[in-house]
Amino acid sequence: MAIEILIVDDNVDIRNILNELIIDAGYKTRVAANYNQALSEIDKKMPDVAILDVKLDKGDNDGIELLSHIKSKNKDVPVIIITGHANIEMAVNSLKHGAFEFVEKPFDQARLLNFITRAVENIKLKSENKEYANRLFSSYELIGNSKNISNIRDQIDKISITDSRVLINGPSGSGKELIARKIHKNSKRSNKPFIILNGALLDSNKYELELFGEEKENGSISYGALEKANKGTLLIDQVSEIPLDIQSKILRVLTDQKFKRLNGNNLVNVDVRLICSTSKNLLDEIEIGNFREDLYHRLNVFEINIQSLNERVSDIPLLVKYFSSKISESYNIKKLEIDENDSYILSHNWKGNVRELRNLIERIAILQPESKEKVSNIIKESIKIDSLTDKIRENSLSVPLKEARENFEKEYLTIQLKKFNGNISKTANFVGMERSALHRKLKGLGIKEFN
């Protein structure tokens, strides 16, 4: 974003010096020579950063009054106070009113520019945090009535009130990030940042920079994920992909709750709740030497395991209904009419899990089919390659009729059982069989009943 800085000083030479310095640094400027001009500029459009002289044309504390006015409109705007009449009382007073920095005249240009750079970094960080908060607010709900999802909801309720570290296991696209967001949203840190660091997407040379940040030669600071998440929650997604040398540094942060930025000399204290997620079995990764066992035990204070969508078929109709409504609303179109019990959807091998299902429904929304038949055609076209029904049909061509029928019955009844969470009465009612007859059929087909 283009940063705009308001310069307020009654001395034309100082205004010009500041204006030239700030433009050369790559920022836009606005200037005001007195209190009323400054007030007009502030009310017309709030600057990203303000530099205010304390004494203007109305009194000894014009700048402090303008500072208070800015903070009453937007407390996040950094304000740098400059004055040629500095004393300790004035400095304390300006900082008490929310000044970002206090600078005496004549000022060192490099030092002032450093303050401006830090102020810009500050507003960028706050802007990012707001963006993350907005994403968090608009995130999807954890939909499902399967035992797995019900248990996870209970776990979220219990661990959200603590600061315990959490390890979330589950296949890609199953909802690990969503679980982490729910934990944060229900916690006492909910009004603080929720930051995501994806271990699988980072350049191997940038892990340290992304985690710890950097102090640059010009005095500016590039904040890392740990500092951005201070007082809030940091989710390290695909933690199994973090290199071993960085794992040891994460372990040190968990022990000390402090670290040094790259090229920095001072320790930075942080208060961060750490949640990690993985699609790999970390115990296997430990066995082959890819993950530190001591870090695993530090991270795995509380473990949540989310199953693949194929293991919780009963959630699919609810997810279809939910996504149909949410996506129709976001595209501003009439609600999609998708049969949540569509056999292609229920029998599909959802390798991409909930994400793949959501993408299918979004594809339907983009195409905006005019009839249920066209919706059905899009579904078939989209998932026909991996459709369990198609596989059964292909396999059935090479076996006798009796075996083909048994194969179909086995697959069909297994899907229906999963759909109803193993409830025999509901399954029997849906397939049109007596409860006792269904028991015999399941036993004859070698289908194991589950609760």
H helical segments located in 230-291:
244-256, 282-287
Q: Are residues 85 and 178 in the same domain?
A: no
Q: Are residues 356 and 395 in the same domain?
A: no
> SS3 sequence, 382-432?
HHCCCEHHHHHHHHHCCCCHHHHHHHHHHHHHHHHHHHCCCCHHHHHHHHC
CATH of the domain at 396: 1.10.10
Q: Are residues 284 and 229 in the same domain?
A: yes
pTM: 0.62
Q: Are residues 288 and 331 in the same domain?
A: no
Instruction: Compute, in degrees rounded to 10, the torsion defined by CA atoms 78, 81, 82, 86.
Output: -150
CATH of the domain at 366: 1.10.8.60
Q: Is the peptide bond before 106 cis (omega within 30 degrees of 0)?
A: yes
Q: Are residues 169 and 23 in the same domain?
A: no
Q: Structural domain of residue 439, as residue ranges?
A: 390-445
Residue 136's pLDDT is 45
Q: Are residues 298 and 370 in the same domain?
A: no
Q: Which residues pair with 6 in a beta bridge?
A: 30, 50
Q: Are residues 294 and 210 in the same domain?
A: yes
Question: Does residue 427 sit within a domain?
Answer: yes
- In the chain, the number of structural domains is 4
- For residue 138, give both structure tokens: 């608009």
C-alpha 144, offset from chain centre: 21
Q: Are residues 276 and 159 in the same domain?
A: yes
Residue 135's pLDDT is 53
Give the residue from 42, 44, 38, 45 showing the smallest Cα distance to 2: 45
Q: Are residues 365 and 411 in the same domain?
A: no
Beta strands at 214-215 and 221-222: parallel, antiparallel or unpaired: antiparallel
The residue type found at 81 is I
Residue by residue, pLDDT tens for the chain (451 residues) are 578 999 999 889 999 999 999 999 889 999 999 888 988 888 888 899 999 988 887 766 678 888 888 888 888 899 998 887 766 677 677 777 888 888 888 888 888 888 888 888 888 877 766 665 555 445 578 999 999 999 999 999 999 999 999 999 999 999 999 999 999 999 999 989 999 998 887 777 788 889 999 887 766 788 899 999 999 999 999 999 998 989 999 999 998 889 999 988 889 999 999 999 999 999 999 999 999 999 999 999 999 999 999 999 999 999 999 998 888 887 788 888 888 888 788 888 898 999 999 889 888 888 878 788 888 888 887 776 444 444 554 455 556 766 767 776 777 777 777 777 778 888 888 777 788 878 788 887 788 776 5
Range list of β-strands (E), 17-100: 28-32, 49-53, 79-83
